[in-house]
Structure 1
Amino acid sequence: MYMLFAVIGGICIAVQAGVNGMMGKQVGSIEASFVSFLIGTVALFLCMIFLGKGNPLHVLNLPKWQLTGGLLGAVYVFISVTMTPKLGVATTILAIIFGQMAASTLIDHYGLISGKHIPIDWRRAAGLVCLGAALILFYKK
């Protein structure tokens, strides 16, 4: 069931890139990124009001670096909006996934952020090489 939800999340990201990319061509990249985040913020606010179980005031006690997630998400949305019309949905998403996998592999290897240490082995390295090769194949004209 967890894997199904992850796949649905991936589908949403691909569709989002296409939708936001088209919006960006019509209203501007920064403006489309803002509108996308605004609509998402309103939707999450309503979910928090009606379905939330946590306490949003606890955010005041978090280390400041933990508040960078929204900024990083905004960078991702802006890059997606800007690159999708230039590269296409598939190449943009593949490039994003390659960046995610390379960074997350290093994060796991050094036990950064989550604290879980998962060393890079030949399988993970081979997976990154295959993903990089796929990116080259998708990008080549």
Structure 2
Amino acid sequence: MYKLLAMFSGMTVAIMILSNGLLVESIGDTPALLFIHITGLMGALLLFYSNKGSWTTLKGIPFFYLLGGVTGVASVYFTNLAFLSIGATVTLMLSLVGRIVTSTIIDHYGLMGMKKYPFVPLKLLGLALISVGALFLIMF
């Protein structure tokens, strides 16, 4: 079930890159970024209230737990700018390479309190194959 959800997440990212990039072409990068996040806030509030969510305090929460919003804005902004120059496919592929490398480092060292998933040399093969795939997408 969760692997299927992860796949759907990737599908929504591809659609997001396309729709956000087209919006940037239409109204500009900063107005698009603002509109994207305002509509995202509205969607999040709708989901929050439809699930009968209740507000809680952030007191005692480690600072790095709160980085998701800021990094989300940065990710959308950088993706929007890249889309204009290199298109959706290469933007998404390079984004995936960046995500995989970063998450591999986080897993290996157990950063931000995460459980450690040690890097094993065989993972280099997977990273190499992904990198070769990225090169093919960039070159052709």
Normalising by the residue count of structure 2, what TM-score does the alignment of the two structures yield? 0.92
Coordinate RMSD, CA, aligned: 1.4
Paired with 2:130 and 2:34, the residues of 1 have a C-alpha distance of 31
C-alpha deviation, 1:116, in angstroms: 0.9
* Correspondence 1:1-141 to 2 at 5 A: 1-53=1-53, 55-141=54-140
Structure 1 CA distance for aligned equivalents of residues 84 and 58 of structure 2 = 36
* 1:76 maps to amino acid: S
The structural deviation recorded for 1:128 is 1.1
Residues 2-26 of structure 1, C-alpha deviations (whole Å, 9 max, x = no match): 1111111111100110000011011
> Are the aligned partners of 2:79 and 2:91 in contact in 1 as well (CA < 8 Å)?
yes
Give secondary structure in 2 for the equivalent of 1:34. helix
Which residue type is aligned with residue 67 of structure 1? L
In the TM superposition, structure 1's runs of 4+ consecutive aligned residues that sit over 6 Å from their partners are none
SS at match of 1:88: helix
The one-letter amino acid paired with 2:129 is C
TM-score by length of 1: 0.92
| Cα distance in 2 for residues equivalent to 1:46 and 1:90 | 31
Q: Which runs of 5+ in 1 are unaligned?
A: none
Mark the runs of 5 or more structure 2 residues left unpaired by the alignment. Answer: none
Equivalent AA in structure 1 for residue 71 of structure 2: L
SS in 2 for 1:121: coil
Tell me, in whole angstroms, the C-alpha distance in 2 between the residues paired with 1:89 and 1:17.
Answer: 6
Instruction: Report the Cα distance in structure 2 between the residues aligned to 1:88 and 1:11, rounded to whole angstroms.
Output: 16
Give the letter for the 1:83 counterpart: A
Q: Distance in 2 between matches of 1:84 and 1:7?
A: 21
**What percent identity do the matched residue pairs reach?**
24
